[in-house]
Structure 1
Amino acid sequence: MRYFEARKARIEIIPMIDIMFFMLVFFIMITLHMIPNAGLRMRLPSSASAQSVPPPKVTVTLAADGSVSVDGHTFSTADLTALLAKRPDPAHTVVTIEGAWDAQLQKLVNVMDACRAAGVTQVSLAAQPEKVD
């Protein structure tokens, strides 16, 4: 007579845990793409040949007054060299310099020299695409 006995219902928890972990990973990945890069709002120079580049590992901001900042912290060129040299692999560190529209060319060259002194070989300049009327 065991055939007709009512069985107690069971809730399988292992598949539910798998689904919850999958959802956790999904939401973490989506959240990481929603966080914007930190930086200062600047009026970048325009260029007719501007191209998209992969996201940089380090973004250096050069203001019009010649101050250099990374992630909101102001550095001298010597401190910038030390900061970039501390990175695990400076030769493969991608640095983008966001120079203000009215920044001095000599200050830009000083920042590029600081990057080269740290061993960084991949330096790019940020520019906005030129608007064609």
Structure 2
Amino acid sequence: MKLTSTRIDKTPEIMIVPMIDIIFFLLVFFMLSTLYMTDQKTIAINLPKAVTAQNDVVKSLQVTVAKDGQIYLGADKMTLEELKSYVEKESKSGQLSMVLRADGEVDYSHFIGVLDEMKKCGIKKISLAAKS
């Protein structure tokens, strides 16, 4: 006569499919929650005015020096003097940053001249573009 044992002879199994479902649920939850973390929602109030208050909006300019030495602001062709006057006018309205792009065959002294003139106009943040 065989006596039944109170011990379980069966080994426990790990259910993979529910675990994958939970991982995907957590992934979606964290992806959606990070979208809402960037936007700060606060209550509406009337802020007081201050004479020394400043906006921290930084405008970025795309300046390109083509192979033939022509200078472009975005897609608009300009001379160096026109670019300087535009930058001086825009720098008075707020902070400027610039991405300076140049063709690989541009004369180095011409490129440095454009870079130097932009620094003289008061642009402190100038990035140089390169292909990765």
Unaligned runs of 5+ in 1: 1-54
- TM-score, normalised by the number of residues in structure 1: 0.51
Aligned-pair CA distance for 1:117: 2.0
Matching residue within 59, 71, 74 for 2:74: 71
Counterpart residue number, 1:100 = 103
Instruction: Pick closer, same or farther for the CA change 1:97–1:90 going to 2, 3 Å.
Output: farther
- Tell me which moved more, 82-91 or 64-73: 82-91
Q: Rg larger in 1 or in 2?
A: 2
In structure 2, runs of 5+ residues without a counterpart are 1-57
Q: Which residue of 1 aligns with 2:117?
A: 114
User: Are the counterparts in 2 of residues 78 and 114 from structure 1 also a CA contact under 8 Å?
Assistant: no
- Where do 1:22-41 residues align within 5 Å? none
% identity of equivalent residues: 19
| Aligned length in residues | 75
Partner Cα separation in structure 1 for residue 113 and residue 65 of structure 2: 10
- Residue of structure 2 in register with 1:61 after alignment: 64
List 4+ stretches of structure 1 deviating above 6 A. Answer: none
Q: Of the two structures, which has the highest relative contact order with CA contacts closer than 8 Å and spacing of 6 or more?
A: 1
RMSD (Å) for aligned C-alpha atoms: 2.1
